[in-house]
Structure 1
Amino acid sequence: MHSDVLIVARAGLWPRLECAGGIAARATETDTIHLVSTAATPLGGDTIVVRVVVEPGARLRVRTAAATVALPGRGTAESTAHWHLEVAGTLDVDTEPTVVAGGSRHTSSTRLSITGAGRVRLRERVQIGRTDERQGFWSGILHADVDGAALLRHRVELGDGTVAHDELGAPLACVSELRYPDAHADAPGCVLELAHGGCLATWQGDRLGAA
């Protein structure tokens, strides 16, 4: 299944929403959108594309109604999610965790473009496996630019087949939080100030509850 979501936030107006496939967007407040599943997704073979545009002077919070559970499909274990974020206003993305379950392989990529007075908080939480599961693979890629110049190139991998994976002490959970232009974040793990403004906080461990 292929799912498309478009969210356009304009100052003083309710967001414009366009959705197709297994993901729907619902405006729960004038500045808040919740993403909800209308079908079981992502399964192996599924792709999800979310585009968010925040125009100058607009504010938008993006949330999800529940955790995202990636599961293997009948023919493949691989699924993908692509986020395209264009921010000239204020954007806060803080979705519920992605759980990579049943030995599935899920890849997430985010391309963030900040222009003008744009402000961003972007948090992603991932867990390999449900209770008593330790199989699965996740790859997360983040490219962030400010006014066309590179701000951050960041990639994290967890689970089966990654460089850090072993049966004794491999991390199976991750929390990443990017803020711009704020140079500090009250977040777990290591907080690094970026050269061109903003900061990145990262945490890894066995279970998200420990964060």
Structure 2
Amino acid sequence: MRSEVVLVASRDRSPRIECRGGGIQARRTAADTVHLVSAAAMPLGGDTIDIRLIVEPGARLKLRSAAATVALPGAGTPTSHADWVIEVAGSLDVDLEPTVVAGAARHLSSVALFLHDGGLLRFRERVQIGRCGEREGFWSGSLRADRDGLPLLRHRVELGAGSLADDDISAPRAAINELRYPATCFEATPIDAGSTVLALAGGGTLSTWQADRLGG
């Protein structure tokens, strides 16, 4: 199944919402806030979720989700995909509930982010390999960010079975990654205390945290 969500935030009006495919729906829950809601058990292996966000100059958008996303293996393939294309000239805050890669599922996430003059951004993703007692899943996340046509960040993380840093003793199974722009400092929450913070040459900060399990 392929599900598509397009959100366009404009100044002085409610976000415009388009959803296709039926697996994911979007609901406006406040003047500048939209929640993603699963309308079916997805993603299963073989599913693709396409999300496009456009935040125009002077506009504000907060994107949240109603519950965690659970990636499950499908009958024909264990692999599902989530592809994001984001254009920001206003203010965007993305903080979804965690993605849980269950069983032997493989979930591949790709984010292409384009910041324009005046854009403000917070993009946070949380990932957990496995439900209780599960360690077989795999997640790959890539984040490519450009600012005014110039490279800002190229970031890629793998977790779980078959990842580059995997081992049976101490390899992490959970991660929190957060990109903020144009912030030059980062104050971690108690959940991701101990994170590593990198100041980007083009402005902004990237915070990364890894452990065996996500906190509270």
Shorter-chain-normalised TM-score: which range?
over 0.9
For residues 188-203 of structure 1, the aligned pairs below 5 Å read: 188=192, 189-203=195-209
| Percent of aligned positions that are identical | 62
For 2:213, the aligned partner's letter is R
In the alignment, the residues of structure 1 paired with residue 164 and residue 47 of structure 2 have an alpha-carbon distance, to the nearest angstrom, of 26
Q: Quote the residue 1:95 is aligned against.
A: 96
Q: Quote the residue 1:204 is aligned against.
A: 210
Deviation digits for residues 118-167 of structure 1, max 9, x if unmatched?
00000000000001111110000000000000000000000111121111
**What secondary structure does 1:208 align onto?**
coil
Task: Give the TM-score of the pair, scaled to structure 2.
Answer: 0.96
In the alignment, the residues of structure 2 paired with residue 20 and residue 99 of structure 1 have an alpha-carbon distance, to the nearest angstrom, of 23
1:181 positional shift: 0.3
In the alignment, the residues of structure 1 paired with residue 71 and residue 197 of structure 2 have an alpha-carbon distance, to the nearest angstrom, of 28
1:50 positional shift: 0.2
**What secondary structure does 2:103 align onto?**
coil
Deviation digits for residues 81-125 of structure 1, max 9, x if unmatched?
001100000000000000000110000000000001000000000
Off by >3 Å, runs of 4+ in structure 1:
none
In the alignment, the residues of structure 2 paired with residue 23 and residue 92 of structure 1 have an alpha-carbon distance, to the nearest angstrom, of 19
Q: Quote the residue 1:141 is aligned against.
A: 142
In the alignment, the residues of structure 1 paired with residue 17 and residue 197 of structure 2 have an alpha-carbon distance, to the nearest angstrom, of 34
1:185 positional shift: 1.4
Q: Quote the residue 2:48 is aligned against.
A: 47
Q: Name the stretch that deviates more: 47-56 or 185-194.
A: 185-194
Q: What 5-or-longer segments of structure 2 have no aligned partner?
A: none
In the alignment, the residues of structure 2 paired with residue 163 and residue 24 of structure 1 have an alpha-carbon distance, to the nearest angstrom, of 34
Q: Quote the residue 2:3 is aligned against.
A: 3
Q: Quote the residue 1:69 is aligned against.
A: 70
Q: What 5-or-longer segments of structure 1 have no aligned partner?
A: none
Q: Quote the residue 1:163 is aligned against.
A: 164
For 1:172, the aligned partner's letter is R
Q: Quote the residue 1:30 is aligned against.
A: 31
In the alignment, the residues of structure 1 paired with residue 152 and residue 74 of structure 2 have an alpha-carbon distance, to the nearest angstrom, of 36
Give the total of aligned pairs.
Answer: 210
In the alignment, the residues of structure 2 paired with residue 142 and residue 163 of structure 1 have an alpha-carbon distance, to the nearest angstrom, of 18
